[in-house]
Amino acid sequence: MNCEGFRQQLDDYVDGLLPEREHQDAELHLGSCADCRVEERRLRVFLAEASGLRREAQPGRDLWPGIAERIEPRAKLLRFVRRGGWLVGVAAAAAVVFALVQARPRPGALPAGAELRPVAAGSVDIERAEAEYVRATNQLLQALNASRGSMSPEAQKEMAELETSVNAIDDALRDVKRALETDPQNNKLNRMLASTHQKKIDLLLKLIRLSSQI
Amino acid sequence: MLRTSLASFLALLPAMAAAEGRVEQRQSAAPDGIVQIDNQAGSIKVIGWAKNEILVAGTLGRRAHGLDLSVSGRKAQISVDTDHPHGTRSDLEVHLPAGSRVEIDSFAAEIRVEGVNGALYADTVNGSIYLAGGFQEVEASSVNGAVEVSGKLKRARVESVNGAVSVKGASGEIQASTVNGQLTVSGARFERASLETVSGGVRFEGDLEPKAVLDAQSVSGEIELFLSPGVSADFRISSFSGDIDNELGPPAKRVSKWTGQKELEFSLGGGGAAVNVETLSGSIGLRKRP
Amino acid sequence: MVLTPGVGARPETNPQDDERRARERQRVKEAQEGNVAAYEELYRDNVGRVYGLCLRLAGDATLAEELTQDVFVRAWQKLGGFRGASAFSTWLYPIAVNTALSERRSRARRSSRFLATDDLEAFERPERPPGPERGIDLERALSQLPPGARAIFVLHDIEGFKHGEIAQRTGVATGTSKAQLHRARRLLREALGR
């Protein structure tokens, strides 16, 4: 290897990327060439300085407020879901309906953490239960809408597709309510309405969880 | 300090995979530990084996930086390292101890699990889930994909929103639900089964244990139960506006002058198991098993 | 605990480190549940490193500030996927690299200049006085490199990435990455008279 050849290989040699044979040739050349030894030394010193450069730097202004503003919508969403604030109304509604129809709820029909409160006969108000479900559903829908702002266009498209799944449940809710108009005291129908509401809530919760991951 | 965190970072990366993105990593693991797998798109295949070791092999998507397999105590985590989790498809095959508790999280990957007898939790949105084997406990959920479970189960909760759900040969407790996917349960001997859809059809075919409870409910979906004529069960069937067709016993009766609601209560073989079916407008059929 | 540059081994864990890691894990958990104050603490602990990297790669303080904000917003969106297998900074770091680089790529595309064909000759513009300028320190010389060459030099010689890794993150072929690096080194050394 001559000097020109060595200089061409110098970077790879110093980086330890030369194959075995070329590496040995380079070492041999170095052993007998003072100029190339100087050049190699200078490159190593330079690289040592580069690798020793400080890698931390403080920005000239506080960047946090700009960040906080952009992450707040999703933060609100996460706090809302975690708090389970919507839970209270739904649990109460479910308790009312199931107490009314005196039926054991199916496993999974109640949201996790909800408890059946014993309800005195005659104090039941189906309409209030329905209102609780609607309120909880609206809260969840609002939360879902709020999260849209911080999503990328692709994510928003994904979410929009997922949300169409809610339509089948809305159709069912409409059908059950229509049936109830003809037979308002029908226990089975009221139970079916409650469990369909619950399905909608479960689905909305799932969509909210997903929106924080997309 | 900075160098160290860089070194730690680089140590987490596998040696640069070959150009086509093939990876393979293995680590020893507890026989009954927790294994969490995260691959948002592509496919995940899990196979339980007798070794106390996890072996992950597969092909990473173009925009994946690497495969992360880390074991800490009884918990192992496997994930695809990428900035585009939904946009890069990776195919993973994971061998793990059969007694593990497996938790799989995905968005669009197809999930297949076999030979695991611990617990299994699989959650996906667009992907389908196929589970085979004797799990202690299963929770499998998809939104648009199908979910199929076969084998002996002690406890299973299986759901999809738009996809079809199918449970075969299971036992123990089953909860299966869809919104508008078809729900099929077949060849099952179980103690408790709860089948619910909103607009999807329900098809049940199987035997009933002496004290089994079968609940089936739909708003507008069609519910068909195929039972042996020799079954011992008490039936409570009702539909608000759908037809009830009973090949196993007496016909249903209208119970209201003003609505089309029909109800049917009868027993076969001296009773024992409980069969409860309810719809709003979906038709109900009680049929003889072929 | 004294660490010298070039030491690659992981330090032995000591109680202070364990405590720090535990506090960090707690903060991450709270942030994942929507606690913005907890995330701010993670931000404060890591902004120096992220900004430093963005500044070097962007070569421009205003852009670096924007990139830094982008990095922490993206990290927040992906936080649900952080399982705590590594330190938060280790998880954050590739997000910073990729954000800085993809921003560069999209800006390059807008002005139809691609990383692979970055013209280092711009640094050798004839109107520059020939020969090395004494007293230019390495930082200034670095900031005057064209962005493509600067990125490769920063990633390889300052941040310690290997060519294969750089190739994957920048979309440049390994051979091109090497060529760019060698030229960057040459130009910097010429500018510094070393």
Q: Do C159 and B72 touch (CB under 8 A)?
A: no
Question: A182, B180: Cβ pair inside 8 Å?
Answer: no
- Chains in touch with C (3+ beta-carbon pairs under 8 Å) read A, B
Question: The tokens of C11 are what?
Answer: 């330090």
Q: What is the residue range of B271's domain?
A: 146-290
Chains that touch A (3 or more CB pairs under 8 A): B, C
Strands (E), A46-110: none
B137-169: pLDDT as tens digits: 899 999 999 999 998 888 899 999 999 999 998
Chains that touch B (3 or more CB pairs under 8 A): A, C
Q: DSSP state, C91? A: H
Residue B238 maps to a domain? yes
CB contact under 8 A, B9 and C11: no
Q: Which of A108, A158, A172 sits opposite B219 (nearest CB)?
A: A172
Q: Measured between beta carbons, which residues in chain C are less than 8 angstroms from residue B80?
A: none
**What is the radius of gyration, based on Cα positions, of chain B?**
23
DSSP annotation of C81: G
pLDDT above 60 for A123: no
Q: Of the candidates A43, A51, A57, which has its C-beta nearest C158's C-beta?
A: A51
> Which residue's entry shows tokens 């496919």?
B43
* Cross-chain residue pair A64–C43, CB shorter than 8 Å: yes
pLDDT grade, residue C13 (50/70/90)?
low
- Partners of residue A210 in chain B, C-beta under 8 Å: 125
Indicate whether this model's pTM tops 0.90: no
Q: How far apart are CA A198 and CA A112, in angstroms?
A: 11
Cβ–Cβ below 8 Å for C47 and A59: yes
Interface check for A168 against chain B (CB to CB < 8 A): the answer is yes
Question: Which stretch, A128-137, B3-12, C107-116, has highest mean pLDDT?
Answer: A128-137
Query: What is d(CA C102, CA C111) in angstroms, rounded to the nearest whole number?
Result: 14
| Residue B249 lies inside a defined structural domain of this protein | yes
Q: pLDDT at position A65, please?
A: 95
More confident position, A120 or C44: C44
pLDDT tens digits for range C114-138: 322 233 222 333 333 444 443 358 8
Pick the closest to residue B219 from A167, A97, A169 (CA basis).
A169
C37 touches chain B (CB under 8 A): no
Q: Which residues contact B214 (CB under 8 A, 6 or more apart)?
A: B192, B193, B195, B204, B208, B225, B273, B274, B275, B276
Quick one: pLDDT at residue C121? 29
Weakest-pLDDT range from B89-103, B214-228, B242-256, C139-153: C139-153
Q: pLDDT confidence of C69, banded at 50, 70, 90? A: very high
What SS3 state is found at A125? coil
Nearest to B10 by CA among C155, C173, A57, C185: C155
The reply to whether B210 falls in a domain is yes
| Confidence (pLDDT) at C21 | 86
Residue with tokens 């008279």: C193
* Burial bucket for residue B123 (CB in 10 Å: 0-12, 13-18, 19+): buried
Q: pLDDT tens-digit profile of A70-112?
A: 888 778 777 766 766 556 556 666 665 555 554 444 444 444 4
Out of C48, C69, C185, closest to residue A58 by CB: C48
Task: Give the gap in angstroms from C-alpha A82 to the nearest C-alpha of chain C.
Answer: 7
The 10s digit of each residue's pLDDT in B71-84 is: 888 989 898 877 67
Cα gap A165→A158, rounded to integer Å: 12
Question: Which of B99, C159, B179, C157 has the alpha carbon at shortest distance from A15?
Answer: C157
Q: Does position B199 have pLDDT exceeding 90, yes or no?
A: yes
Q: How far is B284 from chain C (nearest CA, A)?
A: 44
The count of domains in chain B is 1
Helix axes C174-192, A34-51, angle to 10 degrees: 100
Q: Which residues of chain A have a Cβ shorter than 8 Å from any chain C Cβ?
A: 11-12, 17, 42-43, 45-61, 63-64, 66-68, 70-72, 74-80, 82, 150, 212-213
Gap from B85 CA to chain A (nearest CA, Å): 9
Q: Is the ipTM of this complex over 0.90?
A: no
Residue B266 covered by a domain: yes
Distance CA(C49)–CA(A173), nearest Å, equals 53
Do C47 and A82 lie within an 8 Å CB cutoff?
Answer: no
Look at residue B9 in the predicted model and tell me its pLDDT. Answer: 44
In which element (H, E) is residue B92 found? Answer: strand B90-97
Distance CA A73, CA B35 (A): 32
The pLDDT-based confidence of C19 (bands split at 50, 70, 90) is confident
User: Beta strands B233-239 and B273-279: pairing type?
Assistant: parallel
- For the cut 80, the answer to whether the pLDDT of residue C170 exceeds it is no
Q: Nearest residue on chain B to C75, judged by CA atoms?
A: B83
Position B46 confidence tier, pLDDT thresholds 50, 70, 90: very high
Domain C114-194 has CATH 1.10.10.10: yes
Predicted pLDDT of residue A12: 94
* pLDDT at res. B59: 93
pLDDT number for residue C12: 57
Q: Which of B53, B70, B58 is nearest to B17 (CA)?
A: B58
Candidate from A4-13, B188-197, C32-41, C179-188 with smallest mean pLDDT: B188-197
User: pLDDT tens for residues A148-191?
Assistant: 766 777 778 888 888 888 888 999 999 999 998 888 888 888 88
Helix (H) or strand (E) run with residue A212 in it:
none
pLDDT of B110 > 70? The answer is yes
What CATH number does domain C16-112 carry, 1.10.1740.10, 3.40.50.10800, 1.10.3720.10, 3.40.1160.10? 1.10.1740.10
Comparing A198-212, B174-188, C139-153, the range with the smallest average pLDDT is A198-212
B161 to A196: CB separation less than 8 angstroms, yes or no: no
More confident residue, C146 or C39: C39
Does residue B261 belong to any structural domain of this protein? yes
pLDDT at B4: 43
Helix (H/G/I), strand (E/B), else coil: B118:
coil
The per-residue pLDDT for C137 is 83
Residue extents of the structural domains in chain C: 16-112, 114-194
B265 in contact with A, Cβ within 8 Å: no
Q: What is the dihedral of CA B19, B22, B27, B29, to 10 degrees?
A: 150
Locus of tokens 């129908």: A189
Whole-Å CA distances, B281 to A105, A175, C182: 21, 9, 75
Contact assignment for B256 to A183 by CB distance below 8 Å: yes
At a CB cut-off of 8 Å and minimum separation 6, what does C179 contact?
none
Q: How far is C113 from chain B (nearest CA, A)?
A: 22
